[in-house]
């Protein structure tokens, strides 16, 4: 397994995950890539590519005073609901993945390239400039954790055809996720 370990007092502060107090292990079929390889609406911390063209991006956004998993879920769902071709499959507040931590979990299917969703322009999904891959139904699994000092996002993207195969990888990764108390 690929492991990123944070130990109090002994973490390397040059590691963005360590700075944020995040511990996470991915299955061995996933490989790290440059954090900014995928477009994210925040500060990229880490990224991986996985089987069948899947990806995982971890990023943070600014602190949102008073935010809860419930308000994050509602706001994110409202923001994403109006995107053409985006279809929600799951919206829940997760109280079990990380003991003592509530997170918003959303799953949707939209046009993309399997490793990321396509940008939307003129009311429809468009290929990224210079990307000649065809658009395919792409699943986004978003796990969002509001914190006192930032909001943490984990975005998995995978071809919808790989959903059953990669669900075990997503669950295994979430089972290893821990956050240092800050």
- The full DSSP string for 19-69 is HTTEEEEE-TT-EEE-GGGS--SSEEEEEEE-GGG-EEEEEEE---TT--H
Which of 3, 7, 33 lies closest to 18, judged by CA? Answer: 7
Name the region of 60 (left: φ>0; alpha: ψ -120 to 50; beta: rest): beta
Token pair belonging to 167: 């669900």
Q: What contacts 50, CB < 8 A, 6 or more positions away? A: 26, 27, 29, 30, 31, 56, 158, 166, 169
Main-chain phi, psi angles of 3, to 5 degrees: -125, 140
Would you state the pLDDT for residue 11?
Answer: 35
Q: What is the pLDDT of residue 8?
A: 36
Is the overall model pTM greater than 0.75, yes or no? Answer: yes
Task: Please write the tens of the pLDDT for every residue from 28-42.
Answer: 999 999 999 999 999
Q: For residue 182, what pLDDT is reported?
A: 58
Quote the CA–CA distance of 91 and 136 in Å, as a whole number.
22
Burial category of 181 from C-beta neighbours within 10 Å (exposed 0-12, middle 13-18, buried 19 and up): exposed
Element (H, E) at 154: strand 151-159
pLDDT in tens, 113-150: 999 999 988 888 888 888 899 999 999 999 999 998 89
SS3 content of the chain, % helix, strand, coil (to 5): 20, 40, 40
Euclidean distance between CA atoms 76 and 65, whole angstroms: 16
- 75: alpha, beta or left, given left = phi > 0 and alpha = psi -120 to 50? alpha
Question: Would you write out the chain's pLDDT as a tens digit for each of its 182 residues?
Answer: 444 443 333 333 468 898 889 999 999 999 999 999 999 999 999 999 999 999 999 999 998 889 999 999 999 999 999 898 999 999 999 999 988 899 999 999 999 999 999 998 888 888 888 889 999 999 999 999 999 889 999 999 999 999 999 999 999 999 999 998 75
Residues 106, 117: Cα–Cα separation, whole Å? 14
- In 3D space, the residue among 129, 145, 136 whose CA is nearest the CA of residue 178 turns out to be 145
């Amino acid at each position: 397994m690929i492991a990123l370990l944070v130990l109090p007092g002994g973490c390397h502060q040059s590691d963005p995950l360590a700075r944020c107090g995040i511990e996470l292990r991915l299955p061995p079929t996933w490989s790290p890539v440059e954090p900014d390889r995928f477009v994210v609406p925040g500060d990229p911390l880490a990224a991986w590519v996985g089987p069948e063209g899947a990806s995982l991006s971890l990023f943070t956004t600014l602190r949102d005073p008073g935010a809860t998993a419930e308000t994050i879920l509602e706001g994110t769902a409202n923001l994403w609901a109006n995107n053409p071709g985006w279809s929600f499959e799951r919206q829940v507040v997760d109280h079990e993945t990380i003991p003592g931590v509530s997170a918003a979990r959303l799953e949707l299917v939209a046009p993309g390239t399997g490793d990321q969703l396509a940008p939307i322009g003129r009311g429809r999904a468009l290929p990224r400039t210079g990307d000649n891959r065809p658009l395919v139904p792409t699943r986004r699994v978003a796990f969002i954790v509001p914190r006192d000092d930032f909001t943490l996002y984990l975005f998995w993207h995978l071809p919808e055809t790989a959903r059953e195969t990669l669900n075990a990888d997503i669950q295994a990764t979430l089972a290893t996720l821990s956050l240092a108390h800050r």
